[in-house]
């Protein structure tokens, strides 16, 4: 299949962060074959992008897609009681089919928001994988493992984690990749973490983990073993460029340099952190200075409650500025980097940049909306004033999955109606 995008202004996100005006993009198969002016080759599909901006697809590096079903179900609560009183009891009643419909809803929302790839940690991953397969999106999926020190539970979780990697890696025409998902150092035993490390090496798979989201978990671990979470993982030999660690809000300076030195990608989730009142902003500036790869995530829809990466970019920038009393830090360009090229790097994707040879994962943004006129600086508009309503077309793996505002591979109306029903049923069980 081939696709030609004509007359675009391209926010390339290349090394120089070039903006190319009046360029065409030729896509062949799943890749960008050429980026040039006046491409003459014929293509099966031609999209005119005159007056629009093409931007690399957003990579949402931390999500629990199926939690869309609990969006708005338990807001304005403290994190630990939110989890134990509201979320976990509902999750205990989930079935695979619910997860499938919740994930389809998430996919529709993400496509409309210009997200082309997401990382997910949850359970009933077959349901999520089926949704990803049908949606046309790209994803990195992991079964979230929790053992709380219980040996039987540990073995069961590891078996399931390994099954997901074995069954789904490389599926959906290569759009699905897989990883291992030990939930966090406070919910996983040392044995579970060690075994995860072994399996990650065996399969060459990445590891997704929550790390130092709250002050409580840092102090609890310190009381238990005398070490802070990143130090603890460092001593286990767990930290490497295969690790994608979400949150990292409550980290010391030496933990920042340890995580950076070991090549860990850290994922900032500003909306979720602020909504759950984590109290501390991820030290993004220190991570930059230490040379770490910083990516961006929304987290699940019941701690956000949106899956919009536009919002997450804006909140990331605003949170840093406000927390540090410094309007200069985390500028718009850096926020866009977090959501595109850095996210692709975290998940090991040859994407996040619009250039020849890269995966054809990008969005076409229409700025002719009140909140994005005028365009003095397109990157500023994307980060500070754009929204999913600006996303006109989305291409993933060389295929148009949103065209002129219409979802191409899913029945959106049916999904919204069914997700409402499933969600109502879930909370009444």
Minimum CB distance to Zn ion smaller for 346 or for 379 = 346
Q: Which positions from 368 through 387 interact with Zn ion, judged by CB under 5 A?
A: none
- Residue 210 CB, nearest approach to Zn ion (Å): 5
How far is 259 from 261, CA to CA, in rounded Å? 6
- Residue 62 CB, nearest approach to Zn ion (Å): 6
Kindly state the number of chain residues that form the binding site for Zn ion, as judged by CB under 5 A: 1
Can the peptide bond before residue 305 be classed as cis, meaning omega within 30 degrees of 0? yes
Minimum CB distance to Zn ion smaller for 146 or for 395 = 146
**In the structure encoding, which two tokens stand for residue 96, read together?**
């695979």
Element (H, E) at 364: strand 362-366
Letters for 31-60 (x = contact with Zn ion by CB under 5 A, - = none) are ------------------------------
What are the E-state strand segments in 243-324?
Answer: 243-247, 265-268, 293-296
- Residue 148 CB, nearest approach to Zn ion (Å): 17
Minimum CB distance to Zn ion smaller for 127 or for 144 = 144
- Residue 280 CB, nearest approach to Zn ion (Å): 16
Minimum CB distance to Zn ion smaller for 98 or for 299 = 299
**Residues 27, 2 contacting (CB under 8 angstroms):** yes
How far is 393 from 403, CA to CA, in rounded Å? 5
Q: Which positions from 81 through 120 interact with Zn ion, judged by CB under 5 A?
A: none
How far is 420 from 104, CA to CA, in rounded Å? 12
Report how far apart the first and last C-alpha atoms of the chain are (Å, whole number). Answer: 46
- Residue 121 CB, nearest approach to Zn ion (Å): 7
Q: What's the chain's length in residues?
A: 429
Q: Which positions from 287 through 306 interact with Zn ion, judged by CB under 5 A?
A: 299
How far is 285 from 291, CA to CA, in rounded Å? 10
Minimum CB distance to Zn ion smaller for 116 or for 214 = 214
Minimum CB distance to Zn ion smaller for 217 or for 299 = 299
Q: Checking DSSP bridges between strand 265-268 and strand 243-247, what pairing results, if any?
A: parallel
At residue 220, the 3 state secondary structure works out as helix
Residue nearest Zn ion, CB atom distance: 299
- Residue 14 CB, nearest approach to Zn ion (Å): 31
- Residue 131 CB, nearest approach to Zn ion (Å): 18
Q: How far is CA 71 from the centre of its chain?
A: 17
How far is 327 from 269, CA to CA, in rounded Å? 20
Minimum CB distance to Zn ion smaller for 46 or for 85 = 85
The contact set with Zn ion (CB under 5 A) reads 299
């Amino acid at each position: 299949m081939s696709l030609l995008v004509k007359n675009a202004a391209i926010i390339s996100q290349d090394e120089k962060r070039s903006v190319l005006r009046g360029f065409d993009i030729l896509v062949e198969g799943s890749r960008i074959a050429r980026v040039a002016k006046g491409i003459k080759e014929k293509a099966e599909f031609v999209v005119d992008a005159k007056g629009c901006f093409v931007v690399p697809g957003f990579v949402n590096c931390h999500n629990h897609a199926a939690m869309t079903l609990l969006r708005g179900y338990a807001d304005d609560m403290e994190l630990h009681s939110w989890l134990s009183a509201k979320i976990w009891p509902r999750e205990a009643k989930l079935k695979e089919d619910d997860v499938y419909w919740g994930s389809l809803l998430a996919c529709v929302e993400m496509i409309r928001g210009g997200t082309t790839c997401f990382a997910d940690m949850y359970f009933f991953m077959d349901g999520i994988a089926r949704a990803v397969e049908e949606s046309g999106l790209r994803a990195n999926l992991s079964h979230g493992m929790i053992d709380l020190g219980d040996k039987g539970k540990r073995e069961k979780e590891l078996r399931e984690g390994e099954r997901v990697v074995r069954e789904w890696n490389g599926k959906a025409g290569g759009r699905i990749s897989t990883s291992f998902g030990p939930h966090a150092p406070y919910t996983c035993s040392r044995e579970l973490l060690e075994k995860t490390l072994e399996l990650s090496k065996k399969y060459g798979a990445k590891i997704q983990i929550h790390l130092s989201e709250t002050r409580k978990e840092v102090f609890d671990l310190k009381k238990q073993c005398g070490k802070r979470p990143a130090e603890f993982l460092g001593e286990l030999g767990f930290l490497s460029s295969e690790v994608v660690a979400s949150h990292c809000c409550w980290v010391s300076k030496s933990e920042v340099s340890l995580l950076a030195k070991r090549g860990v990608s850290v994922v900032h989730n500003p909306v979720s952190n602020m909504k759950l009142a984590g109290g501390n902003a991820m030290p993004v500036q220190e991570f930059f200075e230490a040379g770490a790869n910083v990516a961006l995530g929304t987290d699940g829809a019941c701690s956000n409650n949106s899956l919009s990466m536009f919002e997450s970019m804006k909140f990331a920038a605003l949170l840093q500025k406000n927390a540090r009393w410094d309007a200069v830090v985390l500028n718009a360009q850096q926020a866009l980097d977090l959501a595109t090229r850095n996210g692709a790097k975290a998940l090991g994707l040859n994407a996040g940049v619009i250039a020849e040879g890269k995966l054809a994962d990008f969005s076409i943004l229409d700025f002719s909306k009140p909140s994005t006129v005028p365009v003095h600086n397109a990157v500023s508009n994307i980060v500070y004033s754009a929204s999913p309503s600006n996303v006109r077309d989305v291409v993933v793996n060389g295929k148009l999955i949103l065209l002129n505002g219409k979802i191409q591979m899913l029945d959106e109306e049916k999904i919204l109606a069914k997700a409402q029903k499933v969600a109502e049923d879930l909370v009444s069980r």
